[in-house]
Amino acid sequence: MVSVAEPARRKLRMALIGGGAPAFIGPIHATAATLDGRAEVVAGALSSSPVKARAAALAFGIPLDRAYASWDGLLDGEVRLPSERRADFVAITTPNHTHFAIAHAALQAGFHVVCEKPMTTRLEDAIALAELAAKTGAVFAIAHAYAGYPMIQQARAMILAGELGQVQAIRIQYIQGGLRAQQPGVQPVRGAWKSDPALAGPAGTMADIGTHAFHLVRHLTGLVPAELSCTLRSFYPGRTLADYGHAVIRFPDGALGTITVSQVTHGRLNDLSIEIDGTEGSLAWRQEDAEHLVLRRWGSPVRVFERNARGDVLHEPARSLCRLPGGHPEGFLEAFANFYRAALDEMAVRDLRIPDIKRDLVFPDVSDGVDGVQFVQRCIESHADRGAWKRWAEVPPSGAPET
């Protein structure tokens, strides 16, 4: 990966789909993509309302002639532009049920894709996107931006280097409380679609934030599930989709993983916490204290790794993602920008024909998207079968899951 101070040979051109006010995640994508000077927002289809889409364009600095009234209009309009003006990639920040159609059309039109999670609401659609991405050679990144935290990369490097010994258990809790505040019959300011199974898909909270947790299990340990059991629950009166859930994962080597998610816990904001037990030590990290990683070994003092520690305390992947000197906190936007930095550098290698560059962060790609959708599907199947264990199906290169 090139350094933060060294952008690609030219800025890659971003077309943002979704993200108009009062959306949360669309502006995050735009800010993160442009933070290092590697990209610029040149076009957008920012709302399903043409009037709102054009009004929102001003906030992103998008010229009105490239503020499109629909996502398909954006793809058609950008393809018609000269190559030196058209967008290089699209960022999809729309409700879940639209991801497949938009991403499929974008790949066919020759664009790279950055997509919000979950990649699709059906496993067969996720597999189809993986096959098409492979066929086109496009970069397809999934916005699991928590992997962009330096201390997550420190944990990953330590685990893969064997510093914890054999991984025995992974516990992740992702606890929020935002849905507790929703009142029956009152339309929320944003995110109303997340309570509609026709728009969000059938899994609710386990898809919305559980996919982040599952990605971190895979990303940190490299372990592939053997089977899982899941129980889902809605504690909110009249809510169709689950707002709470537990998943237990068995791995082939005997390791166990647990994922607990909630969006109805009083007073909790965005509390993602991770603990990993190994035969030689354990690690703990919490997103709301993202600059510290705690290592414990039996009979030894607790050791706390700090982001941007001096010398060679940190592994190179963690060091390379630190932007500011110690004592100047880095957080969610910087982690999201690290995710974009890795994806944009890969696009630059492929499109701008610059020399190959060092990659210190393995960005979540289309295969991670397939994994996330399969995780959601297995959770739904297990819950429907009263928590019965459901086998994990490897997806071979052909795209068809093994039976």
pTM for this entry: 0.93
Burial class (CB in 10 A: 0-12, 13-18, 19+), 300: exposed
At 273, is the secondary structure helix, strand, or coil?
strand
Q: Which residue shows structure tokens 């592939």?
A: 224
* Residues facing residue 365 across a β-bridge: 141
**R_g over Cα of the chain:** 21
pLDDT single digits (tens) 304-318: 999 988 778 999 889
- Residue 17 near residue 30 (C-beta atoms within 8 A): no
Question: In the chain, which stretches have pLDDT less than 70?
Answer: 1-8, 183-193, 354-360, 396-403
Predicted pLDDT at 360: 67
Predicted pLDDT at 301: 98
Predicted pLDDT at 155: 98
Q: Show the tokens assigned to 46.
A: 């920012």
Predicted pLDDT at 396: 59
Predicted pLDDT at 1: 33
Predicted pLDDT at 401: 55
Q: Identify which of 379, 384, 380, 345 has the alpha carbon closest to the alpha carbon of residue 361.
A: 345
Q: In terms of residues, how long is the chain?
A: 403
- Residue 339 near residue 25 (C-beta atoms within 8 A): no
Predicted pLDDT at 165: 98
Domains of the chain: 12-145 (3.40.50.720), 150-326 (3.30.360.10)
